[in-house]
Amino acid sequence: MTSMSRARVARRIAAGAAYGGGGIGLVGAAAVGVVLAEVRMARTAVGNGNSGGRVPTADGRYGDGYGNPGEGHEPPLRLAILGDSTAAGQGVHRAAQTPGALLASGLAAVAERPVELRNVAQPGAQSDDLDRQVALLLGSTTPVPDVCVIMIGANDVTRRMPPTRSVRHLSAAVRRLRTAGAEVVVGTCPDLGTIEPVRQPLRWLARRASRQLAAAQTIGTVEQGGRTVSLGDLLGPEFAANPRELFGPDSYHPSAEGYATAAMAVLPTVCAALGLWPAEEERPDVTRREGFLPVARAAAEAAAEPGTEVTAAMPTGPRGPWALLKRRRRQRVEPPDLPAGPVAEETRSRATTTNQDG
């Protein structure tokens, strides 16, 4: 499928989400049925893995060494994580290895300010759970997060949620968070074609479905004022080349190295959303094939290339809204120490028992 064809499919899905449609499929019904049968077999294999269904909790403050507000320093930045098991960090055993902890630690280092992390992601969640997760964040007594990172979509594909419905829920969540004053970065649907238990020739169908949803998610997110980062390499080429190194013990969820790879891709966009990236880095670099494109074309290109960022540019154009496509240099992140204070004691001692389902 060409880039223009992928762009047209993504635009149709996003348009269906905006106008209430629900009948646009990602792949043919018969093909989806075969893929789902294969995925169920994969889940059986996943269920025999060693992740134990326990997700370490990493909420708390990171970067305390950068001072506290009482001493004339700026207050901590507030980072929230929403989504499914990938956002929660299922598959690793230490809080410091979860994507939330890695992003909080990296953000603190770039901003030279402490970062307060709150993770409301739910393993097994589909996009229709985002409404509940957003309500948890905005309905609490704590201030609105400065930036929210959402990772969602894999379960929507495997459980056959209509893509228009999936994008509609994601767009609504982004809109609510942006209206409340938070910056939003969405890690789009990962490439399910590289899950080890799924065999060829069905992998290409899973890859196609994943990329189509990722592109449609990008359009919906950008149109609501958020930014996206394609997470194809969360379960993508690097994982396919190094499955024993980059997949976790259950062969489905990432390992600590896999989560670090994803965090390295997302961190620069999180920093840019908060105005923390150097100004010269915000200009398109033609040597990295960056530039302004119609949003559907940018979404299709990003879905095909892991780690690519898409953000809104011009609101109108001859082919609809335009977006800026960037291929940012990844920022190395190191596993942090656990946060200090009362929350850390809970973090060290508490793990949430969840299902094994994505």
Q: Identify whether the C-beta of residue 147 lies closer than 8 Å to the C-beta of residue 183.
A: yes
Give domain status of residue 289, yes or no: no
Residue 73 tokens read as 């320093």
Residue 239 tokens read as 């994982």
Rounded mean pLDDT of the chain?
77
pLDDT at 344: 38
- Tell me: pLDDT of 204 over 60: yes
Residue 206 φ then ψ, to 5°: -65, -40
Report how many domains make up the chain. 1
- Tell me: pLDDT of 190 over 70: yes
Give domain status of residue 41, yes or no: yes
Give domain status of residue 272, yes or no: yes
pLDDT at 74: 81
Beta strands, E only, the chain: 54-56, 60-62, 77-83, 115-119, 147-151, 183-187, 227-229, 291-294, 309-312, 322-326, 351-353
Domain that holds residue 101: 3-282+333-353
Q: Which helix (H) or strand (E) holds 268?
A: helix 256-273
Give domain status of residue 102, yes or no: yes
For residues 173-192, give the mean pLDDT.
Answer: 94
Sign of CA dihedral 214, 220, 223, 226: negative
State which amino acid sits at residue 17.
Answer: A
pLDDT at 339: 56
- Tell me: pLDDT of 294 over 70: yes
Band (pLDDT 50/70/90 cuts) for residue 332 is low
pLDDT at 287: 86
CATH code where residue 260 lies? 3.40.50.1110
Catalytic center residues: 85, 250, 253
Give domain status of residue 317, yes or no: no
Give domain status of residue 169, yes or no: yes
Residue 218 tokens read as 């990008």
- Please choose, from the candidates 300, 307, 322, the residue with its C-alpha nearest in 3D space to the C-alpha of residue 1: 300
Q: Identify whether the C-beta of residue 32 lies closer than 8 Å to the C-beta of residue 160.
A: yes
At 126-148, the pLDDT tens digits run 999 999 999 999 987 789 999 99
| Least trusted range by pLDDT, from 10-14, 126-130, 205-209, 235-239 | 235-239
Q: Which helix (H) or strand (E) holds 71?
A: none
- Tell me: pLDDT of 331 over 80: no
At 336-345, the pLDDT tens digits run 665 544 333 3
pLDDT at 206: 76
CA dist 129 and 21 (Å) reads 19
Give domain status of residue 210, yes or no: yes
Instruction: Please name every residue paired with 310 in a beta bridge, in sequence order, or none if there are none.
Output: 228, 325
Give domain status of residue 328, yes or no: no
At 30-89, the pLDDT tens digits run 455 555 565 555 555 444 434 445 788 899 999 988 866 556 668 899 999 999 988 998
DSSP letter, residue 283:
S
Q: In the chain, pLDDT over 70 holds for what percent of residues?
A: 65
pLDDT at 248: 47
- Tell me: pLDDT of 354 over 80: no
Q: Identify whether the C-beta of residue 354 lies closer than 8 Å to the C-beta of residue 53.
A: yes
